[in-house]
Structure 1
Amino acid sequence: MSFKSHPIAVGVTQAFTCSYLEDELEQLLVLQEETINLELFEQLLALGFRRSGGTIYKPQCPSCNACMPIRIPAKEFMPSRRQKRTLKNNKDIVWKVIDKQQEYHYTLYERYINERHQDGPMYPASREQYEHFINSGWIEPSFIELWHEQRLIGVAVTDVMPNSLSAIYSFFCPNEHKRSLGSLLILIQCRLAKLMDKDFAYLGYQIDESRKMNYKRSYLPYQILTPSGWKQIADE
């Protein structure tokens, strides 16, 4: 995959308390471009940026580099034994991809946040907050739905680019913890990327020191963005 040269304007936020690591300060590099398209966004993903709503950002913290961009080479991904068990244990689930946001998505999201993440910055859930970080004016996300006996139990909001998928956010039924639905949604996104002949599935940031954000290394092989470029890890 080749990239075109494109100068971009960025700004830096004020430092603020980190949401993931105690006693650390967070600071973001924020894109200040008026015109965004899928090609530019995909180039920015490869440079370690993410999006929240229409805001494209990258950690630029004053004294910490714990946030490591991570992606899965879709055509090489092989589920582990544990991940194969997750797939097997969820054979009764039907998944499908739709391209329009639905009212019932928010209903599940609200329940997920209010029951599972009461200690997080997104609590309490609100419709305004949900709309703000899911949607943007320049890309229409796709929604991977998990259904069990005509009941929605999980959603993965996913951006589809020419050469990759990018996982934006996943939420699921809190009382279905035995199903490992968070893992299942990542596995489906990796599978979907391969089915769509994409090169990568971007999973966001791996934070080894954070219990909530240190699970993404279990999807092998994966690639971590280092100062010298993307480094592939085939075994932990």
Structure 2
Amino acid sequence: MRHSLPLTPQFYVTAPQPCPYLEDRMERKLFTALQGDAATELNDSLSAQGFRRSQNVLYRPSCADCASCLSARIDVSAFKPSKGQKRTLKRNDHLVRRATSPWATEEQYALFRRYLDSRHADGGMADMDIFEFAAMIEETPIRSRVIEYIDPETDTLTGVCLTDVLADGVSMVYSFYAPDDPRAGLGNYIILDHIEIARAAGLPYVYLGYWVPGSPKMGYKARFSGLEIYLGGQWQKLRDPDSFEPEQHPLSNDPIAEQVANIALPDMARYRR
């Protein structure tokens, strides 16, 4: 018997678990599988509605009493580097960018382990082995690239970003870099370089993941001009991050059924066989 995939995406909710960004809060996610002939169109559509990709899953925070996690993207046309960001660009202008297919290497994994052990030793990815790392990089049903940054003087891998190419931008799925010299600002440099990648490709946005006001781990995203957040079902310019007050009460989010009903899906009928 031949089994076919459901024509309409099915949405599910994870069980509550401790929030990795805000103390004394629980998180849950709304998610759906990313598969089949319509994977690219579904990823494009849901990314524009605040979803993120992890391997072959698309997810969006859907916490019961908190709406602090806000999808963030940079409007390339509105971005202007600050003095500090200009210094970061100059400090790293010797690095060589190399775009490759989404294929994991031992060199990438070694850098990934150094990064985690230095920056996120107690995080959810701390125990990821090389096989799980390879799955994170390689399991993608859409157009993805691994952007590597090489130091030509030592011929060493300095930074890596798993990047999805969307219809309206590039999405930085996950990045990591050499943690030895914080002054180099490699994390910020990778974002700045992705702004240039998007600009050169004529793509209007760089998707950064989630900005969480009040979380020191995510505060750096608000330092990029032209930042937009997905709030109230639409993208809005983030004008003053310091005065932004996230919603944290029992009515922060609509019920799951209403959230799913309000998701705009691409026309899936043309993929019916």
TM-score in terms of structure 1 length: 0.91
Q: Which structure 2 residues correspond to residues 179-218 of structure 1 after superposition, within 5 A? A: 179-218=184-223
- The structure-2 alpha-carbon separation of the partners of 1:95 and 1:28, relative to structure 1 and needing over 3 Å to count, comes to same
Figure out how many residues of one structure are paired with residues of the other and give that number: 231
Which residue matches 1:166? Answer: 171
Q: Which structure 2 residues correspond to residues 12-27 of structure 1 after superposition, within 5 A? A: 12-27=13-28
Q: Which structure 2 residues correspond to residues 50-61 of structure 1 after superposition, within 5 A? A: 50-61=52-63
CA–CA distance in 1 between the matches of 2:96 and 2:240?
31
Letter in 1 for 2:186: L
Q: Deviations over 1:29-76 (max 9, x none)?
A: 011464342222011001100011111100000111110001111233
Cα distance, 1:205 vs. partner? 0.2
Which residue matches 1:121? Answer: 124
Cα distance, 1:234 vs. partner? 5.6
CA–CA distance in 1 between the matches of 2:162 and 2:33?
24
Which residue matches 1:44? Answer: 46
> Mind listing any 5+ residue stretches in structure 1 that lack a counterpart?
1-5
CA–CA distance in 1 between the matches of 2:140 and 2:85?
35
Where do 4+ consecutive residues of structure 1 move more than 4 Å?
A: none
Q: Which structure 2 residues correspond to residues 1-236 of structure 1 after superposition, within 5 A? A: 8-32=9-33, 34-35=35-36, 36-103=38-105, 104-148=107-151, 149=153, 150-233=155-238
Contact kept in structure 2, 1:167 and 1:202, CA below 8 Å: yes
Q: What value does the CA root-mean-square deviation take over the aligned residues?
A: 1.9
Of residues 194-203 and 69-78 in structure 1, the stretch that sits farther from structure 2 once superposed is 69-78
Of residues 34-43 and 132-141 in structure 1, the stretch that sits farther from structure 2 once superposed is 132-141
CA–CA distance in 1 between the matches of 2:188 and 2:58?
25
CA–CA distance in 1 between the matches of 2:65 and 2:85?
35
Contact kept in structure 1, 2:104 and 2:137, CA below 8 Å: no
Contact kept in structure 1, 2:34 and 2:43, CA below 8 Å: no
Contact kept in structure 1, 2:114 and 2:178, CA below 8 Å: yes
Letter in 2 for 1:17: P
Of residues 198-207 and 27-36 in structure 1, the stretch that sits farther from structure 2 once superposed is 27-36
TM-score in terms of structure 2 length: 0.79
- The structure-2 alpha-carbon separation of the partners of 1:205 and 1:193, relative to structure 1 and needing over 3 Å to count, comes to same
Q: Deviations over 1:145-202 (max 9, x none)?
A: 1111211111111111232100011111111222000000000111101111112110
